[in-house]
Structure 1
Amino acid sequence: MINISKLNKEFESRVRLGIMSVLMVNDWVDFSEMKSLLEITDGNMASHSNALEKASYIEVKKEFVGKKPKTSYRVTQSGRIAFTEHLDALEKLIGR
């Protein structure tokens, strides 16, 4: 029997999978860079990052560089644990 209960619903979206994958291997990534890497719209980036922030899986830093606003993201410790568990569950699901 295949047990999918260990898969995390927060990571079902390909955009959220992408955000988490990028943040697992980088310290801080800014909004524009993330949007470009994932080839998504501003709205997609904003809505999915908000959901991950609400779940406490990512941290969002807003600051001004000169007179321009800059938003950056990084994975939290609980996000790192949850994503690793999700990946482990996926590996078990495909039989690794």
Structure 2
Amino acid sequence: MTESGLPELDPVIHAQARLRVTVALAGLRSADQITFPRLQQLLEMTAGNLSTHLRKLEDAEYVQITKAHEHRTPVTLVRLTAKGRAAFEAYTQALHRLLDATGGS
């Protein structure tokens, strides 16, 4: 909470690109993963931009990045961790409270 009593929004998630990534991953079941190229395609982001934002989310332990091979082809898989899912839930609740407090809904 801020001094004004308004909820604070998680700065790791709040950046527009990271919010989009988190929303996309939260749409998956908790054990599901998505390939990096598929996530890049869904979000219409460059590989470099997506990598940068995933690194921030990974540093916060909100996403897990797994490098694997499928038929000798390297593949990068991304999933939202339990901590990331909880942080996203807290973020959405804080956003709702913020909007309610300011008459936004």
TM-score greater than 0.5 by the shorter chain: yes
Distance in 1 of aligned mates of 2:93 and 2:7: 11
Distance in 2 of aligned mates of 1:59 and 1:24: 13
- Residue ranges of structure 2 left out of the alignment (5+ in a row): none
Runs of 4+ in 1 over 3 A off after TM superposition: none
Q: Which amino acid aligns with 2:48?
A: G
Q: Which amino acid aligns with 1:17?
A: L
RMSD, aligned α-carbons: 1.3
Given the alignment of the two structures, is residue 29 of structure 1 paired with residue 34 of structure 2, yes or no? yes
SS of the equivalent of 2:67 reads: strand
Q: 1:74-94, CA deviations, whole angstroms, 9 ceiling, x for partnerless residues?
A: 111111111100010111111
Q: Which amino acid aligns with 1:72?
A: L
Distance in 1 of aligned mates of 2:71 and 2:55: 25
Find the structure with the greater CA-based Rg. Answer: 2
Q: 1:11-47, CA deviations, whole angstroms, 9 ceiling, x for partnerless residues?
A: 1221111111111121211101100000000001111
Cα offset for 1:68? 1.7
Q: 2:6 aligns with which of 3, 7, 16?
A: 3
Q: 1:60 aligns with which of 57, 65, 79?
A: 65
Do the aligned residues in 1 keep the contact of 2:26 with 2:80 (CA within 8 Å)? yes
Q: Which amino acid aligns with 1:80?
A: R
Cα offset for 1:2? 5.7
